[in-house]
């Protein structure tokens, strides 16, 4: 590419991923794809709930096909863990009567949804297979809430909760009380690098504490294998926490020393690569992560909006 159109690290990630659809609690399933975005599914008495919709209607159909292999109950609820395009733009494919997210996530769709859509598709086109199937415009929720709410699939409860800021300001998790299973969205990753371009590093550890307090015996993280058993759940949370802490502490030290963003990135990359370099999308995420951490370390609480143009300018500055 030309100097002004740098190739993102993700441009080399072209391989198809193996999809797994595992029952991790009675009637609770984890749709995972070797580090690509995950989806959680709950089969209730009379209907089905899907947590995180995939990036396009075409990709959502791969979830629907797995659901239909185990139940013919209608999919009535689609829950969005946050506003990122890779999680939400497949929602119309399910034909659900309700699309649900937090008030804060809807606010972020209003503020930056169009910019985020163009940015994400430009960064990582493989994750948007069948982009032509995306309906014009954005995916909008039909229902929002501020702190928590309960959805009832017949007698089965799915509790949606805002546990604090982290991956974004609008993250929510789902808790299935009768199975002690949670869906964490991108608050937790397993063997995959957390994307922190819209993060709140100072708040995220407390949010993980709140999530840990649920006592999950199984969890669907945002990326990576399903976490089955309390020890594996704890490992997923602690691994995410360690990455965030190591990253933010290194960035804060470099920012306090007056180093430029470029020099900070180079030093942080060198510091983190030995421990985390083999995690999925490490090279793709780290420039965005350091950029946001550098802003927060310098006092910017509200993340700046990523646009296709800003993405490429940043990548050229840090990786050009």
- Decide if 4 contacts 47 (C-beta within 8 A): no
The predicted pLDDT at position 6 comes to 60
- Mean pLDDT across the stretch 31-58? 97
**Whole-number Å distance between alpha carbons of 32 and 34:** 6
The residue-averaged pLDDT of 282-299 equals: 98
Which region among 46-55, 117-126, 267-276 has the lowest average model confidence (pLDDT)? 117-126
pLDDT digits (tens, 9 = 90+) for 150-189: 999 999 999 999 999 999 999 999 999 999 999 999 999 9
**If residue 22 lies in a helix (H) or strand (E), which one and from where to where?**
strand 20-25
| pLDDT more than 90, % of the chain | 90
9: Cα within 13 Å, side-chain hemisphere? 13
CB 57 within 8 A of CB 131: no
Local confidence band at 124 (pLDDT 50, 70, 90 cut-offs): confident
Residue-level pLDDT at 166: 98
Percent of the chain surpassing pLDDT 70:
96
CB 123 within 8 A of CB 9: no
pLDDT value at 2 more than 50: no
186-213: per-residue pLDDT in tens?
A: 999 999 999 999 999 999 999 999 999 9
* Domains of the chain from N-terminus onward: 9-319 (3.60.15.10)
Span 121-143, mean pLDDT? 90
The whole-angstrom separation of Cα 30 and Cα 103 is 26
Mean pLDDT score of the chain, rounded to an integer? 95
Q: How many CA atoms lie within 13 A of 149 on its CB side?
A: 12
205: left (phi over 0), alpha (psi -120 to 50) or beta: alpha
pLDDT given for residue 230 in this prediction: 98
What pLDDT score does 126 carry? 87
DSSP 95: -
Give the pLDDT mean for 104-131.
Answer: 94
- Gap between the Cα atoms of 203 and 212, Å rounded: 15
> Are the CB atoms for 122 and 308 separated by under 8 Å?
yes
**Is residue 4 over pLDDT 60?**
no
State yes or no: pLDDT of 137 exceeds 90.
Answer: no
For residue 162, CA distances in Å to 170, 187, 245, 278 come to 8, 11, 22, 31
Tell me: the pLDDT tens digits for 80-107?
999 999 999 999 999 999 999 999 999 9
Confidence of residue 3 (pLDDT cuts 50, 70, 90): very low
Q: What is the pLDDT of residue 1?
A: 37
The pLDDT of residue 14 is above 70: no
Q: Where are the beta strands (DSSP E) in 47-164?
A: 48-51, 75-79, 98-102, 143-145, 148-153, 156-161
């Amino acid at each position: 590419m030309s100097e002004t159109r740098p190739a993102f690290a993700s441009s080399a990630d072209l391989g198809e991923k193996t999809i797994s659809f595992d029952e991790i609690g009675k009637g609770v399933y984890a749709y995972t794809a070797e580090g690509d975005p995950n989806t959680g599914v709950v089969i209730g008495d009379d209907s089905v709930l899907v947590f995180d919709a995939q990036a396009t209607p075409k990709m959502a159909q791969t979830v629907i096909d797995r659901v239909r292999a185990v139940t013919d109950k209608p999919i009535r609820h689609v829950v969005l863990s946050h506003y990122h395009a890779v999680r939400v733009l497949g929602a119309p494919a399910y034909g659900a009567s309700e699309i649900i997210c937090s008030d804060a996530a809807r606010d972020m769709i209003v503020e930056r949804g169009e910019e985020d859509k163009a940015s994400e598709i430009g960064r990582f086109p493989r994750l948007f297979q069948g982009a032509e199937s995306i309906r014009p415009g954005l995916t909008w929720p039909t229902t929002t809430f501020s702190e928590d709410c309960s959805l009832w699939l017949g007698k089965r409860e799915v509790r949606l909760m805002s546990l604090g800021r982290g991956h974004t300001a609008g993250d929510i998790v789902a808790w299935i009380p009768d199975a002690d299973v949670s869906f964490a969205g991108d608050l937790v990753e397993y063997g995959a690098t957390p994307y922190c371009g819209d993060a709140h590093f100072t708040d995220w550890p407390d949010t993980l504490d709140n999530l840990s307090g649920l006592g999950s015996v199984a969890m669907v993280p945002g990326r990576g294998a399903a976490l089955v058993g309390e020890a594996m759940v704890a490992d997923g949370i602690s691994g995410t926490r360690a990455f965030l802490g190591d990253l933010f502490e290194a960035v804060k030290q470099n920012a306090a020393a007056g180093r430029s963003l470029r020099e900070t990135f180079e030093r942080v990359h060198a510091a983190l690569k030995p421990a985390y370099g083999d995690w999925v999308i490490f090279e793709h995420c780290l420039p965005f992560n350091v950029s946001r951490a550098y802003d927060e370390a310098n006092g910017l609480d509200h993340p700046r909006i990523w646009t296709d143009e800003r993405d490429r300018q940043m990548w050229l500055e840090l990786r050009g």
